[in-house]
Amino acid sequence: MRLAKIIDELNQFEKGAFVKLLEQLAEANGKGAMLNDILIKSSGDELKKAEGQAIAKVFHLLEDEFKQHLVGAFQNCASQFDLLSDIISRDGNAMMSAVWFSKLYEAEIKATKSSVKQLEKTLADGGDLPVERHRAYRVFNACLKTAYENDIANNLDPKITADEQSILSTLAKALNLSGHEVNLLNYTVIPLQKREITDLSEDLVKLGVVFVVRKTGRVFVADEVVRLLRQVRGREVADKYFKRVLRLLKDPEINNICKAHGMPIRGVEREAKIRQMIADGISFTQTLAEDIHKEGSSVNERKKRINELCDLGLPDVKLTGSTLDLKIQSLVEYFDEVEREDRIGISMEGYDHLIRDLAEFFPKKFKAWIKAEFELQEEDESITAEFLTQFNIKPRDVLEVVDSKELSRFVKDKGIKSRGVDILNVLEQYKDTQNLFFENYEALATRDLNALKEAGINVKESELGLKFEDITQLMLEELGFNVDVDLKNQVNTKRDKVDILVNLGNSQVMLVECKTVKDSTYNKFSSIIRQLKSYNSLLQGKGLHVVKALIVAPDFSEDFVADAELEYDLSPSLLKAGELRTIHAAFKQQSKHQALPEKLLSHARDVVIDAERVVKSMLR
């Protein structure tokens, strides 16, 4: 879940520790003035009273400092922060109950102790490890023991200092040890004792990595914090993206990775090997640069293979750079961008449609697969698009949970094309659902639930207004308008919330207000003009000039049109939903333009915009 959304759901006490930490980091690093500038441009309030978007901007300002703060937290050996960060960084743990957090912690402690016990035996006799791997373990273990226990000789509590931790991190990288291997080796020296979950939660809140709602005990972890935790832990991309790449590899390449990290090869299924690689926290860049390739492979052969992987299953990736390292880095950056995006690749309706079809086709398996893959709470019964997007789980992430053979059966049953990559074909198939909303745009505007249901669109009545706004935004974007969501979020307040803001450049904007109404004729001019004037004042305060106020509704009463003609301050233009649909359809089918000339709407002289006139001008 995004930081801004979490903050807006908390009271001042619940976000207090995080806000105080940001203020301390800003003051300690000479960024107090920049923090104040952000607050002045947003709400003008002090940070503890600021809204989510403003606090998220402050966090972005202090990302490097927050990252160093996390590095320091990992150096406290007794805190078990390494183990806890692995739990809260997993995809399905963006929000959870305190009880579920406790269960995950207990399971992690139990599994870690079991693995440590096995590792201690391996350190003693070598087990099945290759000689070089055994030596790497013993070298790191010996250095770790010295770093931890050398304080005892000076009559001090044993600890690992920042300098010692830095040296150990460098040593681990040189020995090609995964994050998981380092964790286990740490606990062969540092005693691992179960702690009280309330103490752990309190520590994590003070560190600024989780938020706890006192009334419900709900634990929230922000996506932005998780990204920094992974960076500090040396995990360049989210587990689900690493898994996506591993599943594109050939079996010999998977086995090469196993050899490089001393993992068993024989008698272990391919998917089990991949899960072990993810659990062990092996390096994404190291895997693609070294581990998957045959010994003696040239740099050109390695670069060619990376290109092939992207062509095979990552068609949106545009690799840049002439060297192998730069190509892999561009792949890391691609996954980072995907994770930061709110877009899910298909419409929310299409996502819901996909989930329903998968649940019907795999009635006893689908929900279990999803919960197991993302560690979702056992009591979470409803698996919907809205629910999953709160965890940043997108359609492709869901499809990758389904076994490849099972997915092929689904593809065949639904009549989806089978040539190429099944996952990409399924996504393309369900992407078309968005067009259903375009085709039934007027029914959405008039809140005609029966017409929408007959068209195969399932939407709640309470969601119709927001859905109309979303589809209007999509239409404007497809017409080539620069719908600036970030700018809208920056200027919106709890009282004033602009529906759509089109950035025309040079500090000029077009204000778009969307209204649905059951009787198809909108007649509340006095209320909407008060809204628009309030928005205009808000935008002027941000140094923005409203060139045009555009009202989109099913239709307008004669009195409404007459009142709009007499409004000279904002000179609003009125656009009927059917007229916008006509313009949008004509543009997609006939226009030679890359984008609709913005002046056709932003500088429209008519109070009521005529679609026929716009289309004629567009087609010239």
Question: What are the extents of the domains in the chain?
Answer: 62-233, 236-340, 348-431, 465-618
First to last CA, the chain: 46
Angle at the Cα of 491 from the Cα atoms of 37 and 62, rounded to 5 degrees? 40
Would you state the pLDDT for residue 511?
A: 94
Task: Return the minimum-mean-pLDDT range out of 349-363, 447-461, 520-534.
Answer: 447-461
Would you state the pLDDT for residue 360?
A: 92
CATH of domain 465-618: 3.40.91.50
Would you state the pLDDT for residue 450?
A: 86
* CB hemisphere CA count around 157 (13 angstroms): 5
Strands 545-553 and 573-576, by their bridges, are parallel
% of the chain residues with pLDDT over 90: 40
Q: Looking at the predicted structure, is the pLDDT value of residue 288 above 80?
A: yes
Would you state the pLDDT for residue 390?
A: 85
**Mean pLDDT for the stretch of residues 88-111:** 88
Coil/strand/helix, residue 502: strand
Q: How confident is the model at residue 381 (pLDDT cuts 50, 70, 90)?
A: low
Task: Return the minimum-mean-pLDDT range out of 157-161, 515-519, 564-568.
Answer: 157-161
Q: Looking at the predicted structure, is the pLDDT value of residue 496 above 90?
A: no
Would you state the pLDDT for residue 591?
A: 62
**Mean pLDDT for the stretch of residues 134-146:** 92
Would you state the pLDDT for residue 324?
A: 93
Average pLDDT, the chain: 87
Would you state the pLDDT for residue 20?
A: 92
Q: How confident is the model at residue 102 (pLDDT cuts 50, 70, 90)?
A: very high
User: Which residue type sits at 586?
Assistant: A
% of the chain residues with pLDDT over 70: 97
**Mean pLDDT for the stretch of residues 553-573:** 89
Provide CB contacts within 8 A for 149, sequence distance 6+: 158, 189
**Mean pLDDT for the stretch of residues 291-318:** 90
Place of tokens 């298909």: 346
Q: How confident is the model at residue 446 (pLDDT cuts 50, 70, 90)?
A: very high
**φ and ψ at 389, to 5 degrees?**
-65, -25
Q: Looking at the predicted structure, is the pLDDT value of residue 44 above 80?
A: no
Q: What is the CA radius of gyration of the chain?
A: 28
Q: How confident is the model at residue 77 (pLDDT cuts 50, 70, 90)?
A: low
Task: Return the minimum-mean-pLDDT range out of 38-42, 171-175, 233-237, 548-552.
Answer: 38-42
Q: How confident is the model at residue 380 (pLDDT cuts 50, 70, 90)?
A: low
Q: How confident is the model at residue 141 (pLDDT cuts 50, 70, 90)?
A: very high
Would you state the pLDDT for residue 332?
A: 93
Q: Looking at the predicted structure, is the pLDDT value of residue 78 above 70?
A: no
Most confident of 155-159, 179-183, 260-264, 501-505: 501-505
**Mean pLDDT for the stretch of residues 273-285:** 88
pTM score above 0.75 = no
Q: What sign does the dihedral 366-368-371-377 (CA atoms) show?
A: positive
Would you state the pLDDT for residue 290?
A: 92
64 closest CA partner among 219, 221, 232: 232
Would you state the pLDDT for residue 549?
A: 92
Please give the Cα distance from 155 to 433 (Å, whole number).
Answer: 69
Provide CB contacts within 8 A for 587, sequence distance 6+: 478, 479, 593, 596, 618
Would you state the pLDDT for residue 432?
A: 67
| Strands of the sheet with 508-514, listed across from one edge | 500-505, 508-514, 545-553, 573-576
**Mean pLDDT for the stretch of residues 395-410:** 92
Place of tokens 């997915």: 407
Query: Higher model confidence: residue 324 or residue 390?
Result: 324
